[in-house]
Homo-oligomer: A and B are copies of this chain.
Amino acid sequence: MGTTQLESVQEPKYWHLKTVLNDALDSEFEVGEILPNERDLAARFGVARATLRQALEQLELEGRLQRRRGVGTTVAPPRMGVRVGPVANTWPGSTLDSWKTVGCVEAVAPHAIAALLGTGSDAAVHTVRRERVMRGQHVATELLYVPPASVPELSTMLTPANHAPAVLRELHTLELEGEDRSVELGSASAEDAKQLDRLPGAPVLVVTTRYFSAGRVAAASVATYRADTCRLTFGDSGALEVTHHEEESRQAS
C-alpha cells in the first residue's frame, strides 16, 4: 500500500488506522507481545503521534491493547468474564465470592447514596471497602453502604480490624428478599484508579446494587470494574463465561 485511493476517503485517518492495527493484532501479534513505541509506529504509518494515539486509545477502550507508562504497549488478552448477576440472591461477603474485604469506616454517605438507601442525607453509614481480584488482577473496587438501622445488634466494641467482619456478619442474619442492579459507564476517580492500577479517568463500569430486606433497602453498593479488562456476566443459566474465547470483533468494521 502507499499511493492508492487518492479520491474521497471521507474516513478519519485514526479510524482507518484503528482497523489496520486491529487486523494486524489478529494476524501478526500474540497476546502479551509488545508493540513498537508510539513514535516509531506514527512514523511508520506516516501520521502525527497524536493521530496514532487516537487509534491506540480506541483499541485500548475496546480491550485490545494495554498501555503502561514507562513500559510500552502490549496486546491484551481477551476480556475476563466476571459474574455480577444474581447467583441465587446472596449477601455480599458470603463465603467464596472472590471479594476481599479491605476495611470499614463509619461516615456520612454522599447524597446519591443516601438517596439510594432512602436515609437522610446527613446520616452516618457503615462503609465497607472491598476489592475483587481475578487471575491475580484487581478488576474491581467496591464501597458497600450499610445504614446502622440494618445492623441494630452490631457490637459497640469496634476496632478497625473487626469493624468490617462484624458489619457483614450482622448483615447475613437478615433475610435477603431481592436485589436491584444498574450498570453504567464512568471514569475512575483518582482513588479508584490507584486500586485498579490504572490512571485517573480510565473507563470503568459502575455497578450499583440495592439489597432489599423487610421491604426496605438494607444495603447498597457501588462497584467499579475495569472496563478494559472485564466483561460483566449476568443470567440464570450461565455458561457464557467459558465460551467467547476466540475473539470478539463485533465492532471495527
Contact = CB atoms under 8 A, between A and B. Distances in A.
A208 B241 CA distance: 12
A15 to B, nearest CB: 6
Given A85-B234, A203-B203, A234-B234, A182 B240 contact: yes
B203 A183 contact: no
A112 B81 contact: no
Interface string A228-252: 1011111111111001101111111
B236 A86 contact: yes
Contacts of A190: 253
A168 interface: no
Contacts of A130: none
Given A178-B236, A182-B81, A253 B189 contact: yes
Contacts of A248: 112, 184
User: Which of A61, A116, A187, A201 has the largest number of chain B CB atoms within 10 A?
Assistant: A201
A184 B252 contact: no
B231 A201 contact: no
Nearest to A83: B182
A223 B246 CA distance: 20
Contacts of A116: 243-244
A119 to B, nearest CB: 13
Contacts of A179: 235-237
A48 interface: no
B237 A181 contact: no
A210 B115 contact: no
A180 interface: yes
B210 A240 contact: yes
Contacts of A79: 184
The 9 closest A-B pairs by CB, nearest first: A178-B237, A180-B235, A185-B227, A184-B231, A181-B234, A180-B240, A183-B232, A182-B233, A189-B251
